[in-house]
Amino acid sequence: MKFDLIIRGGNIIDPKSEVHGLRDLGIKGGKIVEVGTDLPGAHAREIWDLAGYSLMPGVIDTHTHVRGPAHRMMAKAGVCTCLDMGAGRSVFEEMPERGCGLNVAALQTIGPFADKTPSNGELDGLVEGALQAGAIGIKLVGGHRPSTPEATAAMIEAGNRAGAYVAFHVGSTETGSNLKGLLEAVQLAGKNHLHIAHVNSYLRGLIKDPVEEVVDGLLSLKGKKNLVSESYLAIINGTGGKVVDGLPQSHVTRNCLRMRGYDPTEAGLEKAIADGYGLVQIEEGGETVMVTGARGVKEWKAKGSDVGMSFPVNVPESTFLCAVKRDESGKFIVDAISTDGGSIPRNVAVENGLTLVRYKALTLDEFVYKASTRGAQMLGLHDKGHLGAGADADITVLDMAHGRAAMTVVGGKVIMAFGIIYGKGGTIITTRKGLPVAKAVGLPALEVNVQEMLLYTKTSE
Ligand SMILES: [Zn+2]
């Protein structure tokens, strides 16, 4: 048989291949081998008729947290490929059991160093440890658990020295998870390569009017070819409820409490949850749900305060402008639309991205670019982010009438259709150093070269 599968009748949206309109996709061995009209059905083992649906290259979410229920939640939201921001090897160890067929890359958190600058040797060891744990690089969690500016710069430098991926939730002991932290991050990066995580979340109006903050924040990123970034389209944030010595461990959580006049203490956090402002994440029915009020307090206490939490603190103006703002040459200032979702219930890149399309704030091509094509470049995945011949058959099938993902297809296999999960396991995206981890957990690996990722290639764009 020439094809394992022909997908007929779909409206293809593929900005990279400049294909827009009705085409058939011929798939074999998990790859798209032919794009055309009226591909011969007699040559296919299977045919799907997707007339009425739009097909985009599979969504690539460049900021996620891949714990337990995340796989299911992402597959339902149309995500084919994701980058976990910080959990490292534990992400892969869960995949045989919890995975739903997605392609997953991970970073591993290093630090914090709040009162010393570690030696280069120590930092090099930590970066190497992350790579050997299967991560493609490191994540710095400044905004939650800050390091000194000097230690932060040293960590960024160490990641670059190793040619690893380096992402940063901005903020140091001198700043915070805010505009100041963002401006500082650009300075601390210097000429080093750095992924600035969820840009929108620093622009919540903590320092001045949020729109003025967005202007300053985006200007600081504009034209910086050593920086890549993403932003998400949700009002709730993601943080933690863990209390240590009477204080919320995460500085982001403390910020959220201050923003609405609560004490940044254990008591203040309890009151914020009781009042319905603090949302506690729990797993129910295989997915994360958020509970608040008396139930929220009960769950928070039952878990010894160590729960994921969200607060409705993002500013719509900031999320909107980060998603749509271009520079004079027409290039988006923030590279990608992400979600900072996964196990945090806000996997809304498709849902809210298509809302921007309906509002004509983005064209459909631009949405696909920001939700898939650019993400493929960010992860150095040459065979993803487009639907041309030779591409991996990773496809997000869009139900445009309802503004959501109808099906998620990875490597020519359905992992989700109409809310039902079919996928299992998944593929580990890792560097050569991480291949033994994939082998140890018994999942296939997709080897990538960090030097081919936008983080390092943007300077030659
Ligand atoms: Zn995050």
Mean of all residue pLDDT scores within the chain:
97
CA–CA gap between residue 308 and residue 340 (Å, rounded) = 13
460: pLDDT confidence band, cut at 50, 70 and 90? very high
CA–CA gap between residue 153 and residue 311 (Å, rounded) = 29
Q: What integer is the mean pLDDT of 106-122?
A: 97
Phi-psi region of 357 (alpha: psi -120 to 50; beta: other; left: phi over 0): alpha
pLDDT tens profile 278-314: 999 999 999 999 999 999 999 999 999 999 999 999 9
| 196 contact partners, CB below 8 Å, separation of at least 6 | 167, 168, 170, 182, 185, 186, 221, 227, 228, 229
Q: Ligand 1 centroid vs 196 CA: distance in angstroms?
A: 11
Q: What angle do the packed helices 316-324 and 210-221 form, to 10 degrees? A: 30
Q: Ligand 1 centroid vs 384 CA: distance in angstroms?
A: 23
Q: What integer is the mean pLDDT of 52-67?
A: 98
pLDDT tens profile 242-281: 999 999 999 999 999 999 999 999 999 999 999 999 999 9
Q: Ligand 1 centroid vs 65 CA: distance in angstroms?
A: 6
Q: Which among 239, 343, 347, 234 is positioned nearest to 282, based on CA atoms?
A: 343
Q: Ligand 1 centroid vs 238 CA: distance in angstroms?
A: 7
Q: Ligand 1 centroid vs 190 CA: distance in angstroms?
A: 23
Q: Ligand 1 centroid vs 63 CA: distance in angstroms?
A: 6
Secondary structure (3-state) at 443: coil
pLDDT tens profile 394-453: 999 999 999 999 999 999 999 999 999 999 999 999 999 999 999 999 999 999 999 999
Q: Which among 148, 248, 229 is positioned nearest to 182, based on CA atoms?
A: 229
Longest Cα separation, the chain:
69
- H or E segment to which residue 368 belongs: helix 364-368
- H or E segment to which residue 61 belongs: strand 59-65
Residues 67 and 344 sit within 8 Å (Cβ to Cβ): no
> In order of start, what are the domains of the chain with their CATH numbers?
58-235+314-381 (3.20.20.140), 248-308 (no CATH)
Q: Ligand 1 centroid vs 236 CA: distance in angstroms?
A: 12
Q: Ligand 1 centroid vs 85 CA: distance in angstroms?
A: 6
CA–CA gap between residue 203 and residue 214 (Å, rounded) = 6
Q: Ligand 1 centroid vs 104 CA: distance in angstroms?
A: 15
Q: Ligand 1 centroid vs 24 CA: distance in angstroms?
A: 37
Q: Ligand 1 centroid vs 452 CA: distance in angstroms?
A: 23
**N-terminal to C-terminal alpha carbon distance within the chain:** 41
Pure H helices in 40-136: 70-76, 89-98, 120-132
Q: What integer is the mean pLDDT of 232-238?
A: 96
Burial of 2 (0-12, 13-18, 19+ CB in 10 A): middle
Q: Ligand 1 centroid vs 145 CA: distance in angstroms?
A: 13
Encoded amino acid at 194, one letter: L
Q: Ligand 1 centroid vs 40 CA: distance in angstroms?
A: 45
Cα distances from 402 to residues 101, 337, 355, 358, 398, in angstroms, run: 24, 20, 10, 11, 9
pLDDT(1) > 90:
no
Q: 3 — phi, psi (to 5°)?
A: -130, 145
27: pLDDT confidence band, cut at 50, 70 and 90? very high
Q: 146 — phi, psi (to 5°)?
A: -75, 150
- Percent of the chain whose pLDDT exceeds 70: 100
Q: Ligand 1 centroid vs 339 CA: distance in angstroms?
A: 8
Q: What is the pTM of this model?
A: 0.96
Q: Ligand 1 centroid vs 338 CA: distance in angstroms?
A: 10
Q: Ligand 1 centroid vs 201 CA: distance in angstroms?
A: 10
Residues 374 and 365 sit within 8 Å (Cβ to Cβ): no
Q: Ligand 1 centroid vs 64 CA: distance in angstroms?
A: 6
pLDDT tens profile 204-234: 999 999 999 999 999 999 999 999 999 999 9
